[in-house]
Amino acid sequence: MTQENIQAPKGDGTSRRKALGAGLVLGSAAIAPMVYAAPSSAASVEAAAAGAAAGKAKDPAVVPSLTMHAIDTYRGATEAGLRADLSYFENGRYRLIGKYETLAGGRPKDPLLLQDELKAGRYEITLHLGEYFSNLGSRLPQPSYLDDVPIRFTVADAAQHYHVAILFSPWNYSYYRGS
């Protein structure tokens, strides 16, 4: 596309800058009510979370659970055999509550936690990446740059579904709450 195709016709009084400015103003106007409607104190945040939990608990489509999907970005697909340990934070430390192994594609056979097993609090999934890449015969420096990688997150509302999506390679990882 050339610049001529992008520019407004001459003589109509509009320009790309004015159009862009108008878009920014309109976009900001749409976002502003959401920002100002946010709870302003810890108590109101807790009240909002409790209200959300009450609403979610009544939704029969929501099954309280914790799932994960770990995707090997180095090889382009996750092979079976990535070990993951799940721990829960209590009494000042993480306590192991389950051991899992992924199938081909990067998901364990079953959810990590289901319904009443899931409770609010801090969790850690430890991925054994050094072992995973070694078992696949990947030619990497020894010792490996990443070995056992902790993925830490918080479950605020145990009536919701939490999905931890993880992207990893021998040199980096990232994660986010998926759907």
42/72 same-domain check = no
Total structural domains within the chain = 2
81/48 same-domain check = no
80/11 same-domain check = no
**The domain spanning residue 151 has which CATH number?**
2.60.40.180
Q: Are 107 and 164 in contact (CB under 8 A)?
A: no
84/115 same-domain check = yes
73/118 same-domain check = yes
78/151 same-domain check = yes
Residue 132 to residue 162: CA distance in whole angstroms: 25
76/47 same-domain check = no
Residue 134 to residue 148: CA distance in whole angstroms: 13
> Which domain range does residue 119 map to?
65-178
Q: Report residue 165 as tokens.
A: 């999506």
Per-residue pLDDT of the chain (179 residues; tens, 9 = 90+): 444 444 444 454 545 444 444 444 444 444 343 333 334 334 433 444 444 444 444 566 789 999 999 999 999 999 999 999 999 999 999 999 999 999 999 999 999 999 999 999 999 999 999 999 999 999 898 889 999 999 999 999 999 999 999 999 999 999 999 98
35/96 same-domain check = no
Q: Is the peptide bond before 143 cis (omega within 30 degrees of 0)?
A: yes
